[in-house]
Amino acid sequence: MSGPSSTSHLYRLGIVLVAFFVAAVLVGWWAVPSSWNFDVDHWYRKDALIDNAQKPMVYGGNESCKDCHEPAMKKLAKFKHRALSCESCHGPVADHVRGNKKFAAAKVDKSRWQCENCHQEQINRPKDFPQFSKTGDIGKFVKKHNLLEKKTLCLECHNAHDPTN
The pLDDT of 82-87, averaged and rounded, is 80
- Measured CA to CA, the distance from residue 76 to residue 88 in angstroms comes to 14
* pLDDT for the residue 165: 66
- For the chain, strand residue ranges (E) read 36-37, 44-45, 97-98, 101-102
Is residue 39 scored above 70 in pLDDT? yes
pTM over 0.85: no
Is residue 125 scored above 80 in pLDDT? no
pLDDT band at 150 (very low <50, low <70, confident <90, very high): low
DSSP 18: H
- Measured CA to CA, the distance from residue 112 to residue 115 in angstroms comes to 5
